[in-house]
Amino acid sequence: MSDFLLGEQRNMLTAAKQFIEFVNKGPSPFHVVDECKNLLRAQGFKELRERDPWKVEKNQKYFVTRNQSTIIAFAVGGEFKPGNGFTMLGAHTDSPCLKVKPKSGKIRHGYHQVGVQLYGGGIWNTWFDRDLTVAGRVLVKEGDKVRHRLVNVKRPILRIPHLAIHLNRKVNDHFGPNLESELLPIIASTVESASSAPGSTKHSPALLDAICSDMGVEKSQLLDFELCLADTQPASIGGALEEFIFAPRLDNLVNAYCGLLGLIESCAVDSLNSDPNIRMALLFDNEEVGSTSAQGAQSSLTEWILRRLSTGGSRTAYEEAIPKSFLVSADQVHACHPNYADKHEDNHKVGLHKGPAIKFNANQRYATTAISASILRVIAEKASVPIQDIVVKNDSPCGSTIGPIISAKLGLRTVDMGSPQLSMHSIREMCCTSSISQSIALFKTYYNTFPAVDESFIVE
C-alpha cells in the first residue's frame, strides 16, 4: 500500500475514533448538546440566548440552544447581507431509548424495579441482558434557585434479564416481550435494599441514591428529572480490519457530529470571508417521535431564527432569502443486510464504504427532488466523496425525517441523505469507519461551495 493510501487510512481511523469519543460522551440528547457546545466554544463560537436581543456580525460564529436538547450553530459570511441565503444542514440529537417514568418505583417478588416508557421505535428485545445505566438532566434546588444539571451514572445499575430457555422453549421461534410488564429493569433486591430509607414514594431509593451520589447532592434537592436508559458498553472500532464502528445511537449522532464538524472545519479557511450566505447546522430533538415539540423540527424555531438573521434589509428580506437557501437533511440510511438482502430494492442496495446515499420517495416521505439531488451530486464530486441512491421497496413502508417537515414549513429546497448502517434502532448499531471522514468532507465542501454551485444551476 502506498504512503498516500496509508495516510488516508490513518486519517479515516483517527476521525472515527474522535467520533466514538463524541458518542461515548452523549448518552442523552442533553449530553449531546452539551458536548456540541464544548466543540463550538473551543472554535470561537459565541452563545446567544433566544430571550435576548442579538447583534450578529459578519465573519463571526454563534450558537443558540432550546431546551438544552436542540442546538443551532451558524457562521455569518463576510459578504452576507439581509436577504441573502442560508446554507443549512439538519440532523437530530435523539435516538430510540427507554425513559424513566414520572413514578417509576416498583417492588415485585423481591426486586426493586424501575418503570420505563418507550421512546421512539426501538428494537426493544436488544435491551435485554445489557448492562444499563441512566443519563439525562436533573432539576436541582440550590437555595432559592433551581438549576439544570446533567447526570450520567457510568456504572451498570440496571438490567432486564431474559427468562431462561428452560421456562420458555419457544423463545428462539419468536420473542416479542410484553412492553409494559416484561420490559422492566431490575435495580436492586429487596434483601439488600431493606435498610435503605424510604425516600420518595415515586422512585426506587436505589435509583435516587445513584443519582445523588453521582451529582453530589441530597435527595431533598431533587425537584424533577428526565432520564434515559443507556448501555454502559462504550462505542468501539470493530471488525478484523478495524473498518466498522459498533456503537449505540449511530442514528443519528453520525450526522449530528459530522454536520457540526463540517461547519467548524469550513470556517477554518478563508472561504467564510467571501461567503454571501450564513452557514447553519441545526440539530433537533424529538425526531424519533415525530418532531412535534417546542424543540423539534416542526416547531417555529427555525423560521424565527432565520427571520431574526434576515432583519435589517428590505421588508421582504426573509422571503427573498428562502429561495436562495438550501437544506441538507442528514439522517442514517439502511445498508444492505447480507442475511436479509431481499428486504432491499434490487437496484438500490446501499453498501458500507461506498459513500452517503441520497434518499428518494415518490410519496414525499423524503423531500429530495431532481434539482436538490443534482446540487448534492455536484458538491460531492468537488469533495471526491462517492454518492449512492436509496429507495425502499414498494411492499415496504418508508420512514421519514426532518427534511419534509422543514421543507414544507418553509418552502425550502431540500435533499434527504445519510450514511449507511446496519442494526438501525438496536441498542448497538453498526456502520463503517469511512462514513465519518466521508461525511465531514462532504459537509465541509457543501458549506464552502453551495452559493457558487447554486449560481451554476439554471432552472428558472
DSSP characters for 168-214? -TTTTT-----TTTT---EEEETTTTTTS----SSS-HHHHHHHHHH
* Mean pLDDT, range 198-209, rounded to an integer: 81
Could you read off the pLDDT of 263-281 as tens digits, one per residue? 999 998 789 999 999 999 9
Round to whole Å and give the CA distance between 184 and 438: 40
Q: Is the pLDDT of residue 198 over 50?
A: no
Beta-carbon-side half-sphere exposure of residue 139 (alpha carbons within 13 Å): 9
Beta-carbon-side half-sphere exposure of residue 451 (alpha carbons within 13 Å): 17
Burial class of 411 by CB neighbour count within 10 A (0 to 12, 13 to 18, 19+): exposed
Q: Which of 294, 334, 314 is nearest to 67 (CA)?
A: 294
Q: Is the pLDDT of residue 319 over 70?
A: yes
Round to whole Å and give the CA distance between 203 and 113: 9
Q: Which of 8-12, 35-39, 48-52 has the lowest mean pLDDT?
A: 8-12
Mean confidence (pLDDT) of the chain: 95
Q: Is the pLDDT of residue 60 over 50?
A: yes
Question: By three-state DSSP, how is residue 82 classified?
Answer: coil
Question: By three-state DSSP, how is residue 240 classified?
Answer: coil
Round to whole Å and give the CA distance between 145 and 142: 5
Which residues, other chains included, contact 101 with Cβ-Cβ below 8 Å and sequence gap of 6+? 114, 115, 116, 117
Round to whole Å and give the CA distance between 283 and 256: 6
Per-residue model confidence (pLDDT) at position 98:
98
Round to whole Å and give the CA distance between 240 and 1: 18
Round to whole Å and give the CA distance between 111 and 189: 4
Beta-carbon-side half-sphere exposure of residue 35 (alpha carbons within 13 Å): 21
Cell of 15: 476521525
Q: Which of 128, 126, 447, 108 is nearest to 262 (CA)?
A: 447
Round to whole Å and give the CA distance between 118 and 136: 15
Model's pTM, two decimal places? 0.96
Per-residue model confidence (pLDDT) at position 6:
63
Round to whole Å and give the CA distance between 280 and 297: 14
Question: H/E element holding 8?
Answer: helix 3-24
Per-residue model confidence (pLDDT) at position 2:
59
Question: H/E element holding 128?
Answer: none
Residue type, 416: D
Which residues, other chains included, contact 86 with Cβ-Cβ below 8 Å and sequence gap of 6+? 277, 278, 279, 280, 306, 309, 321, 324, 325, 326
Name residue 170's beta-bridge partners.
Answer: none
Residue type, 59: N
Per-residue model confidence (pLDDT) at position 1:
56
pLDDT bin (cut points 50, 70, 90) of residue 195 is: very low
Residue type, 295: Q
Q: Which of 383, 176, 399 is nearest to 287 (CA)?
A: 399
Residue type, 358: I
Q: What is the greatest pairwise CA distance in the chain?
A: 75
**109: phi then psi, degrees, rounded to nearest 5:** 55, 40
Could you read off the pLDDT of 415-431 as tens digits, one per residue? 999 999 999 999 999 99
Could you read off the pLDDT of 21-38 as tens digits, one per residue? 999 999 999 999 999 999
Q: Is the pLDDT of residue 346 over 60?
A: yes
Round to whole Å and give the CA distance between 429 and 215: 30
Beta-carbon-side half-sphere exposure of residue 163 (alpha carbons within 13 Å): 15
β-pairing, 186-189 vs 111-119, is antiparallel
